[in-house]
Structure 1
Amino acid sequence: MVGGIAQDDARENRLIDLFNLHQAADRVRHGTDAILKLDNVEYEFELKSATTNKGGISTVRDLGPGHIAKWRGKHWIMAFFEGSKLLYCRYGSPDAMRPWITEKWDYIKADFEMAKYVPAHITLDTMFEIVGKKEVYTKADARKIHKNQMSAAQYETAQDTVEGYSPARMLDIFKDRARYVIERGSTLNNPHIPSKYFESWPEIRTNHAAKLRELVSTWRDAKP
């Protein structure tokens, strides 16, 4: 996996140089891949790459609402390689990617709505049936339920009695765990973008930086 990450980083850096893009100084790994500044306006880009013998473009592990929100306004560059050789790229505007993003959100939306509303209906009796009834629950009891989803400091802060957690506080932790489990099971593991979504996008083989700016300008000027 480390080798794959290194290869992805190398390809990403190559595309940034080729298209004369830049990255935010405080960028994190799962943040915006690159930025194009055009006429004093910044356009955020998602950069993806694949070898030509694959049937689509891979995306991310555990795709959820955060990725949907992040991608809705992004521009896209799809780069196609043969080994280390870049063959060509395709450019997609936010409008071009909207159908795929909408499709994925429609697929997972109900599950995440379930995660929002179902935990509120969990009662003390339900929790007692699953974890047992106590007057005070220990940190070990809480960690057995919520595992590593809270840090040691968070478990400490969550205590509402000297000895640990009251049933009411334990119920809050129990509900948080239920919400996490539903959301975790609702994400999509690396959904691919089929070629039908991008095979008609403009192709870029030469003059990459200039051509990209021309395409973004055309998209921008066509907006109402």
Structure 2
Amino acid sequence: MAVQDDSREQQMRDRFNLRVTEDRKRDGIDAFLRIEDQIVNFELKSTTSGSVSTVRDFGPKHIEKWEDLHWIIAVYEKTGKEILKCHYASPIDMAPWIDGKRHYVMPDVVLGQDIASKLTSDTAIKIFGGRTAPYTKEDAKWIMKNQWSAAQYKEAMDETDGYSLDRMTEMLQLRCSYLMARGSTLNNPHIERTFVDQLPLLDEEEPAISLRQYVRNYLLSASATEDATA
């Protein structure tokens, strides 16, 4: 994360009295608050131009992560130091944008899944030049590269210090899915200014109180919907 982006996120957390987990990782949740006995997670974004940059390689994992998050989008003046206004977006508010991106990448995702499922043990034998099981940890690393941790390589072993033909075939399918998923990503899709402008504005005088009121209204609405459909 760029220092400037990190500084802006901290400024937003301070403004809205939000918290961050101590063990937060690079792709983790930006901030959270506890309200109505619930933990509400937030994605924090900022812009100086109106449109909002998201992530470099946007794909299915981001869709899965973002569709349940609440968002705060801070609009800064041109130097990026002073906040001019902040927009709030509930999961329902963000759904049209996220659904649009899901629709865009879906053909590539389905292609990747179908192709991976068609890989067979013959594929594994062909890749290893006619050699069959047992396969070694070095063989597995040749296929999976840095996609797996040391613990995952050990857990996947189904032979004594190695892997069967069936397990190696499964690994090839996983690797194929991973590679195809990378190919189905979008390069930093922006949230358009027209979309941002129609999102609710948070009160500048009492930003933390305003945010919590929006969140409470969303939680009440979501609860009412669940009760009506139960």
TM-score, structure 2 normalization: 0.79
| Aligned match of 2:33 | 36
- With 83-92 and 117-126 compared, the bigger mean Cα shift is at 117-126
Is 1:72 aligned with 2:67? yes
Is 1:91 aligned with 2:100? no
Compute the displacement of 1:177 (Å).
Answer: 1.5
Query: Does the aligned pair in 2 maintain the 1:108–1:187 contact within 8 Å?
Result: yes
From 38, 42, 46, give the equivalent of 1:45. Answer: 42
| Aligned match of 2:199 | 201
Q: Secondary structure at the match of 1:63?
A: coil
Write the distance in 2 (CA, Å) between the matches of 1:139 and 1:197.
Answer: 49
Compute the displacement of 1:98 (Å).
Answer: 0.7
Q: What amino acid is aligned across from residue 95 of structure 1 in structure 2? A: I
- Alignment gaps of 5+ in structure 1: none
Compute the displacement of 1:50 (Å).
Answer: 1.4
Q: Deviations over 1:58-84 (max 9, x none)?
A: 112332333222222222110012321
Percent identity between the two aligned chains: 43
Q: What amino acid is aligned across from residue 124 of structure 2 in structure 1? A: M
Write the distance in 2 (CA, Å) between the matches of 1:155 and 1:74.
Answer: 33
- Alignment gaps of 5+ in structure 2: 225-230
Q: Secondary structure at the match of 1:44?
A: strand
Query: Does the aligned pair in 1 maintain the 2:125–2:132 contact within 8 Å?
Result: no
Q: What amino acid is aligned across from residue 60 of structure 1 in structure 2? A: V
Query: Does the aligned pair in 2 maintain the 1:134–1:167 contact within 8 Å?
Result: no
Q: Deviations over 1:81-136 (max 9, x none)?
A: 23212221111122111100111112223333333343221123333444421134
| Aligned match of 2:105 | 108
From 174, 183, 186, give the equivalent of 2:184. Answer: 186
**Structure 1 residues 157, 217: closer, same or farther in 2, change over 3 A?**
closer
Q: Secondary structure at the match of 1:135?
A: coil
**Structure 1 residues 121, 79: closer, same or farther in 2, change over 3 A?**
same
Is 1:18 aligned with 2:5? no
From 140, 145, 148, give the equivalent of 1:147. Answer: 145
Q: Secondary structure at the match of 1:60?
A: coil
**Structure 1 residues 170, 49: closer, same or farther in 2, change over 3 A?**
same
**Structure 1 residues 81, 127: closer, same or farther in 2, change over 3 A?**
same
Q: What amino acid is aligned across from residue 189 of structure 1 in structure 2? A: N
Q: Deviations over 1:194-223 (max 9, x none)?
A: 112121122333321222233334444555
**Structure 1 residues 40, 159: closer, same or farther in 2, change over 3 A?**
closer
Write the distance in 1 (CA, Å) between the matches of 2:100 and 2:212.
Answer: 28
Query: Does the aligned pair in 2 maintain the 1:46–1:74 contact within 8 Å?
Result: yes
Q: Secondary structure at the match of 1:197?
A: helix
Q: What amino acid is aligned across from residue 111 of structure 1 in structure 2? A: D
Write the distance in 2 (CA, Å) between the matches of 1:154 and 1:46.
Answer: 30
Write the distance in 2 (CA, Å) between the matches of 1:150 and 1:214.
Answer: 43
Q: Secondary structure at the match of 2:6?
A: helix
Q: What amino acid is aligned across from residue 106 of structure 1 in structure 2? A: H
TM-score, structure 1 normalization: 0.81
From 123, 127, 132, give the equivalent of 2:129. Answer: 132
Q: Secondary structure at the match of 1:97?
A: helix
Between Structure 1 and Structure 2, how many residues are aligned? 219
